Chain A
Amino acid sequence: MGDLSRYGDLFAWAPALALLLVTALLSFSRIFERNPPALGLLLLVVLWAWVEATQGFVADAGLRMLLVYLKYVVLAWIPFAWVATCLRIVGNRPWGPVLLAALGALAVAFVVLLVWDHRTGWFFSSLEFTPSGIARRTGWLHTVYMTVLFGALGAGVALLVRAGRRFSWMDGRRAKLVLAAAALPSLAGVVDLVGWMPEPRMSLVPWALFASAVLFLGAILRGRLFAPGSSAYETVVRDMADPVLVLDTTGRPVWSNEAAHRAFPSLTTGAAFDLPEIEGQVPLLRQGHEVSVRYAEREYRAKGTPAQDQRSGFEALVVVFQDVTGLKAEQTRLEALVAQRTQELVRSKEQLEAELEKSRGAQKGLERLLSEKELLLHEVNHRVKNNLQIILSLINLQTRRLAQESAAKEILAATEGRIRSINLVHELIYRTEFGAGLDFRRYLEELVKGIGALYSQVDVRVEVLPSARPVQGGVDFSVDFGLVVNELVTNAFKHGIVPAGGGLVTVALDLRGSTLVLSVRDSGKGFVPDASEGHSLGLSLVRAVLKKYRAELVVKSEGGTLVEILIPWSDA
């Protein structure tokens, strides 16, 4: 080992070097992501205690020196492990910012200490650069001072890296740059210590400090100028609203985002699972099932996705939780709403059906009434016709008991004709669709045809001229109208055709504006006024009907007799 006193200063620098070395090492590895720093801290403390306890028993000076060196290394690691543990906690706990503030205060204290040292010349200012290294005071207080000093430096650097990663302006590469910048002055110090510099008074430390400052600045600028690195995505996951848990192959949670800690306050990353609500679902999650998790009166839908880190081979199950409490509540509300609406619809349907049933009942009632009415009408019509038949039979019986060519027989024949005209109205109305008026043209045709049949002994032709538009009327008017036609046509036969021994009777019905014109023309000798006719029943009937309907009678002699009846008419 040679002259160990030469390495005394090296021991003094050792904590700082070790601290930077471990910081860099930890920055390049993911050791802290897989092993809790707290465990490392514990191991270091145990190692320290072991070294302290052992070094007194080692006789060999070289070996004892190695132990001392090891102790310093351990002592340098302890603050870093403490810082790393704190940072680990900072990322996961609500009171993390407080701890961060404490670390920041420590870094500020370091700067203040540097300034104070510069002014008092207690440590750095007392360094004396010689060709064999840097001569300076040594001692336990000095060592502690160095340890605290560089521990704080390490903590500050770690804090800076952590903050950079957290706020997405520094990814892994930039963090390494920052660490390199931090390590440069220390390396320069080592070069100075071992006396590698050709010029005794020459030191690399100021240059290293300058280069370090440049690197820091560059890292910061790059971090701001360039797009966020992979750590930005990690930040996104960490800050996302949905809880995310990363479980290792044993099912223990090794990483969780902040939402997971908020959602599951009793969750401790790295510790055994203490959330039975989730732990029980892990096998299902591994199989890719979506499971429902209830915790603290909230409901989550969780889905697990297997993942593997290609570099380290770390296998994990990433579980993302979606808080569906609100959704469930909304779903419950909607289901209740749907149930309520369904009930309302069912009620409406029942009401509609009841109303429909009522309506059907009413319709059936109406149909029954209509059917009864039709039956009644049928029966009345039958009665009327039957009674008319009885009256006609009575007239026939009476007629047969009278002498041939008697005046009474003629009267009865006229009566029979009038009764038949009335019967024809009933006959046609009966055959017409219920509620519709009587078609006069058809009525005229059948009436005139019936009268013509009575005079079959004479050569006669009967023509009914159609009207320009259909003429319809009610039963009362039709009966009156039929009586008038019967009288006029009978008269035409009696006085126009029969005496002439043959001829033509033309009956026409026409609507001229608001006047219905009925004309009966015969080809007889023409109208000859007869005093006896003025008091006949037939003419009286015609006059009565004309008066009732304010109609006019026009009689003309034009190669026979033309009788026109002008009736004021309205289709309504």
Chain B
Amino acid sequence: MKGTVLVVEDEALVGMELEEGLAQRGLRVPEVVTRGDQVLDAVARVEPDLILMDIRIAGGLDGIQAAEKVRQISRVPIVFLTAYNDAATVARAQAIHPEGFLVKPFSDEELTALLDNLLG
């Protein structure tokens, strides 16, 4: 599996595990962004093939708002990572037509299936 993935996750341990897991699958993870207001710059810098975006992140913008900004400059696929799966949050997220959802805690198998689907 090849490609560049931008991970947006403010939980260090989760970000680290994702970075490692993705790398193990042959994917490039140039950096893990932890703040919403840094996402746009990172996208411009990294030009990822996929963004794994946590919804609740620090930095003034949450994951959904950051994704909206990204949508204005890029067609890169976005997958939301969230422990929130209530109807209101899902509806908000659906408004920007993401390519997928991973509900925390997600398994390796779920992540693999999603990556296969988007980058395989």
Do A and B come together as binding partners? yes
Across the interface, which residues of A come within 8 angstroms of B16, CB to CB? 393, 397
Within 140-173 of A, Cβ neighbours of B (below 8 Å) are at none
In the complex, how many angstroms separate the beta carbon of B38 from the nearest chain A beta carbon? 20
Q: Which residues of B contact A393 (CB under 8 A)?
A: 11, 13-14, 16-18
Q: Using Cβ atoms and an 8 Å threshold, which residues of chain A touch B84?
A: 382
- Give me the interface of B with A, judged by CB distance under 8 Å: 11, 13-14, 16-18, 20-21, 24, 56, 83-86, 103-109
Cβ-based interface call for A252 (8 A): no
Complex partner residue of B109 from A389, A427, A454, CB under 8 angstroms: A454
Bound form: Cα–Cα A69–B109 in Å: 156
Bound complex: CA A392 to CA B14 (Å): 9
Docked CA distance A382–B104 (Å): 9
Q: How many A-B residue pairs have CB under 8 A?
A: 61
Does the CB pair A400–B20 fall under 8 Å? yes
CB distance from A462 to the nearest CB of B (A): 15
**Mask: chain A, 366-403; 1 = CB below 8 Å from B; 0 = not:** 00000000000010011001101111111011001000
Question: Could you tell me the distance between the alpha carbons of A389 and B103 in the complex, rounded to whole angstroms?
Answer: 10
Give me 15 other A-B pairs in contact (C-beta within 8 A), A393-B13, A423-B105 excluded.
Answer: A378-B86, A381-B83, A382-B84, A386-B11, A388-B104, A389-B104, A390-B11, A390-B13, A393-B14, A393-B16, A396-B20, A396-B21, A397-B20, A400-B20, A419-B105
Q: How far is the CA of A427 from the CA of B83 in the complex (A)?
A: 9
B17→A385 contact, CB < 8 A? no
For B15, the closest partner residue in chain A by CB is A393
Answer yes or no: A456 CB below 8 A from chain B CBs. yes
A420 touches B (CB below 8 Å): yes
Min C-beta distance of B65 to chain A, whole Å: 18
B86 A389 Cβ-Cβ under 8 A: no
Chain B residues with CB under 8 Å of A420's CB are 105, 107
Complex: chain A residue closest to B110, CB-CB: A453
Q: Min CB distance, B66 to chain A, in Å?
A: 18
Is A394 a contact of B105 with CB atoms below 8 Å? no
Bound-state CA distance A122–B77 (Å) is 157
The CA-CA distance from A453 to B14 in the complex, in Å, is 22
Once the chains bind, are B104 and A386 in contact (CB under 8 Å)? yes
Which one of A382, A396, A416 lies within 8 Å of B56 (CB-CB)? Answer: A382
**B83 lies within 8 A of A389 (CB):** yes
- Residue on B nearest A399 in the bound complex, by CB: B108
Once the chains are docked, how many angstroms separate the CA of A392 from the CA of B110? 13
Pick the 5 closest A-B CB pairs, nearest first. Answer: A393-B17, A385-B83, A389-B105, A389-B104, A388-B105
- List 17 A-B pairs, Cβ < 8 Å: A378-B86, A381-B83, A382-B84, A385-B83, A386-B83, A388-B105, A392-B107, A393-B18, A394-B13, A396-B20, A400-B21, A400-B24, A416-B107, A423-B105, A430-B85, A431-B85, A453-B109
Contact with B along A415-438 (1 / 0, CB 8 A): 010011001000100110000000
- A391: chain B residues at CB < 8 Å are 105
Known: A382-B56, A382-B84. Contact between A396 and B105, CB under 8 A? no
- Knowing A397-B16, A400-B24 are in contact, say whether A389-B107 is a contact too (CB < 8 A): no
- Bound: A450/B20 CA distance, A: 23
How far, in angstroms, from A160 to B86 measured CA to CA in the complex? 112
Contacts of A392 in B (CB 8 A): 105, 107
> Which residues from B are CB-within-8-Å of A454?
107, 109
Which residues of chain B have C-beta atoms less than 8 A from A427's C-beta? 85, 103
* Band of interface residues on A: 20 to 34
Q: Assess A385 versus B109: contact at CB under 8 Å? Given A390-B13, A397-B17.
A: no
Interface centre among B14, B24, B104 (most CB of A within 10 A): B104
Across the interface, which residues of B come within 8 angstroms of A423, CB to CB? 105
Q: Are A456 and B20 in contact (CB under 8 A)?
A: no
Nearest residue in A to B11 (C-beta to C-beta)?
A: A390
Bound: A132/B106 CA distance, A: 161
Could you tell me the distance in whole angstroms from the C-beta of B114 to the nearest C-beta in chain A?
13
Q: What's the Cα separation between A382 and B54 when bound, in Å?
A: 13
| Chain B residue at smallest Cβ distance from A386 | B83
Complex CA gap A430/B109 in Å reads 23
Quick one: given A382-B56, A385-B83, A396-B21, are A390 and B109 in contact (CB under 8 Å)?
Answer: no
Residues of B within 8 A of A419 (CB): 105
B83 neighbours in A (Cβ, 8 Å): 381-382, 385-386, 389
A374 CA / B21 CA spacing, docked (Å): 35
Contact residues in A for B109 (Cβ distance below 8 Å)? 453-454, 456
CA A128 to CA B17, docked complex, whole Å:
168
Residues of A within 8 A of B17 (CB): 393-394, 396-397
Please determine whether A389 and B11 come into contact, CB atoms closer than 8 angstroms: yes
A400–B23 CA distance with the chains assembled, in angstroms: 12
Contact in complex: B108, A396 (CB < 8 Å): yes
In the complex, the answer to whether B56 meets A385 with C-beta atoms within 8 Å is no
Q: Of all chain A residues, which has the CB nearest B108?
A: A396
**Residues of chain A contacted by B21 (CB below 8 angstroms):** 396, 400
Q: How far apart are A292's CB and chain B's nearest CB, in angstroms?
A: 74
Q: Residues of A contacting B106 with CB < 8 Å?
A: 389
